Amino acid sequence: MSSIMIDPERCKRCGNCVRECPETVFEQRDAASAPEVLREHLCIACGHCVALCRSDAVAHAEFPPRTLHPITLELMPGPANLMELLRARRSARAFKDTPVERSLLEKVIEAARLAPTAHNYQGTQYIVVQDRQVLKQAADMTAAFLGKTARLLRNPAIRTLYGLVAKHELKSAMGMLENFEHLEAAAKQGGDKVLRGAPCLLLFHADPGLAYPDKSAQLAVQNAALLCVTLGLSSFYTGYLVGGCEHLRQLRRLLGVPAGHRVYAGLAIGYPKFTFHQWPDRKPAEVLWRQE
């Protein structure tokens, strides 16, 4: 039995499902004919066809009625509201010593889950770490790794060899060596400049065999960060720790990352100590307009 069907009695012959489908699953012979399902095997289950059809003529096995929800236009933010949210979001790093409720974290993950994913694989998975001891260990391991990296790259011979295989990464790392050393020194004195004492770490990980899992994770993390603002939470991207996970198997094990998966993004989350009352301007966008 086909998993996608079009009811010719309900179909209005608008052809919108044909034009919107990203994988050319449908074809319509002429304006008087209902679209036909000709390439079902190409379907990526994005749901465009069922979400678009106003006459409910499209039936898709992946989307039974209970999975379809009406859009409440009255709740949609206007451009001014959304722009103000984007301006207000800060990568703040001063947190209250207060745990974040699971109900709020579930909302953050729900926002991340709704982000677009490459080829609609929806392969991004999540790990929530709230154990203070584990968080401190993860921060210390990351700081030690970065300190070791700085010492290695200050060696001219090692730096030359590294530059042969990762020229662009080397250029970036060389500008961060002092930061790496500062992080390690702070950790040795009991401080935490990696997670900044955040009470929660949200990791975004996936099977690297999926299509563009890194890009999908970055889209998800931005959704999550924006929702944090609306919930009264603060967050920042844990770039240092994500880099540590890339190189340290023991760090991935500590955090519970499944074998074979890679960590592509992370957010440190908590209640902010301070409230920002202004937003500073950013550099003007560099844009190349290509017009006829």
Q: Which CATH number is 199's domain given?
A: 3.40.109.10
Whether the predicted pLDDT of 122 surpasses 60:
yes
Are 59 and 96 in the same domain? no
State mean pLDDT over 252-277.
Answer: 97
Per-residue pLDDT tens for 203-222? 999 999 999 999 999 999 99
Does residue 292 form part of some domain? no
Are 202 and 260 in the same domain? yes
How many other β-carbons are positioned within 10 Å of the β-carbon of residue 264? 23
Are 197 and 63 in the same domain? no
Sign (positive/negative) of CA torsion 21, 22, 26, 30? positive
Residue 165 has a pLDDT of: 66
Are 265 and 120 in the same domain? yes
Does residue 146 form part of some domain? no
Please state the domain count of the chain. 2
Does residue 208 form part of some domain? yes
Range of the domain at 228: 91-133+193-270
How many other β-carbons are positioned within 10 Å of the β-carbon of residue 13? 15
Q: How confident is the model at residue 156 (pLDDT cuts 50, 70, 90)?
A: confident
Does residue 147 form part of some domain? no
Does residue 223 form part of some domain? yes
- The model's pTM is 0.91
Q: Which amino acid is at 263?
A: V
Does residue 61 form part of some domain? yes
Per-residue pLDDT tens for 136-153? 999 999 999 999 999 988
